[in-house]
């Protein structure tokens, strides 16, 4: 068998091979078993590390998916809650509108007596809570029965509607209310308004009615429609109960005094005499 030598530039850097094959091991000679073991351990470590990284990546993906899913779930929940709140609010508004329309007087399109009393009680409780006054103006169309008998129900209804519209046109605050209390009588509820403010408004209301210039052929006061006004103002006492207050009664007494004094005038209940008669309409 032919033996060949493959040598480098230095002695000893040769390896002997057979059958025409040789291997150069380098200056440290052939690899030892210890070196081979280290390489195997290194390969196993790298493989283990790769598997660990892959597992960690999978866990991170799962965590990210869970977080994303949770966020999407919370987002959907918030969206559903918002939609539910909006629909509930719309339903509440619709119910309030139905109640409002049901409480409206069909002749004047103003709130009726029941709604006025409910509104007045609410304003009274608000005044009690905040320590503010509440005022009430009762309005009566002078000699309306004679007008209605002379000109008929249709003309009477048209007159009441015009008077109601004129009164409402002078009340600009959101928290105030103008309504038809019954027959030819109207009520104006003024939360947080004192004596001076309520009298000033009553003067504007009287002027608005006079400016309508609706002819009244059966009035002893004027050739046109006029109205009388009774005003009452109350500061609720801390120990008072709603059923015990006399705001409506006071305003009615002031209105009776205005009629007794000649109609087409304004009387505040603080100016009432000891006794007040109730003249006919």
pLDDT in tens, 255-280: 999 999 999 999 999 866 643 444 44
Looking at per-residue pLDDT, the higher value among 26 and 52 belongs to: 52
CATH number at residue 181: 3.30.70.270
141 and 73 within one domain: no
What is the reported pLDDT for 84?
A: 74
142 in helix, strand or coil?
Answer: coil
Assigned token pair, 148: 């209605």
Q: Which of the four pLDDT bands, split at 50, 70 and 90, describes residue 55?
A: confident
115 and 42 within one domain: no
- Calculate the dihedral angle through the C-alpha atoms of 63, 65, 66, 70, rounding to the nearest 10 degrees: 140
What is the reported pLDDT for 279?
A: 45
Quick check: is 242 in a domain?
yes
Looking at per-residue pLDDT, the higher value among 8 and 160 belongs to: 160
Distance (Å, whole) CA 278 – CA 281: 9
255 and 118 within one domain: yes
pLDDT in tens, 125-138: 898 889 999 999 99
Q: What percent of the chain has pLDDT over 90?
A: 48
The answer to whether residues 242 and 124 touch, using CB atoms and an 8 Å cutoff, is yes
What is the reported pLDDT for 48?
A: 72
pLDDT above 90 for 76: no
Nearest to 181 by CA among 105, 121, 280, 253: 105
96 in helix, strand or coil?
Answer: helix
Give the count of domains, the chain. Answer: 2
Tell the residue number behind the tokens 């947080």, with chain if given.
192
51 and 97 within one domain: yes
Cβ contacts of residue 255 below 8 Å, gap of 6+?
Answer: 138, 139, 140, 228, 229, 230, 267
């Amino acid at each position: 068998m032919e033996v060949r030598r493959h040598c480098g530039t230095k002695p000893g850097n040769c390896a002997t091979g057979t059958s025409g094959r040789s291997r150069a091991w380098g200056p440290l000679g052939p690899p030892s078993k210890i070196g081979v073991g280290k390489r195997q351990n290194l390969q196993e470590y790298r493989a283990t590390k790769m598997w660990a990284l892959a597992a960690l990546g999978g866990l991170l993906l799962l965590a990210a998916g869970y977080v994303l899913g949770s966020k999407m779930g919370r987002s959907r929940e918030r969206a559903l809650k918002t939609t539910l709140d909006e629909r509930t609010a719309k339903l509440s508004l619709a119910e309030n509108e139905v109640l409002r329309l049901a409480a409206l007087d069909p002749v004047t399109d103003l709130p009726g007596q029941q709604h006025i009393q409910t509104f007045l009680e609410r304003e009274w409780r608000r005044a009690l809570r905040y320590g503010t006054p509440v005022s009430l103006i009762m309005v009566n169309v002078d000699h309306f029965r004679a007008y209605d008998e002379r000109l008929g129900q249709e003309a009477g209804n048209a007159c009441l509607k015009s008077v109601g519209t004129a009164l409402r046109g002078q009340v600009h605050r959101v928290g105030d209310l103008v309504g038809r209390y019954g027959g030819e009588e109207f009520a104006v509820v003024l939360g947080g308004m004192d004596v001076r403010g309520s009298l000033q408004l009553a003067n504007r209301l009287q002027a608005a009615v006079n400016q309508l210039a609706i002819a009244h052929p059966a009035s002893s006061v004027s050739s046109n429609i006029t109205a009388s006004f009774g005003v009452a103002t109350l500061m609720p006492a801390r120990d008072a109960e709603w059923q015990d207050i006399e705001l409506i009664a006071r305003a009615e007494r002031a209105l009776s005094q205005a009629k007794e004094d000649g109609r087409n005038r304004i009387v505040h209940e603080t100016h009432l005499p000891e006794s007040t008669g109730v003249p006919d309409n």
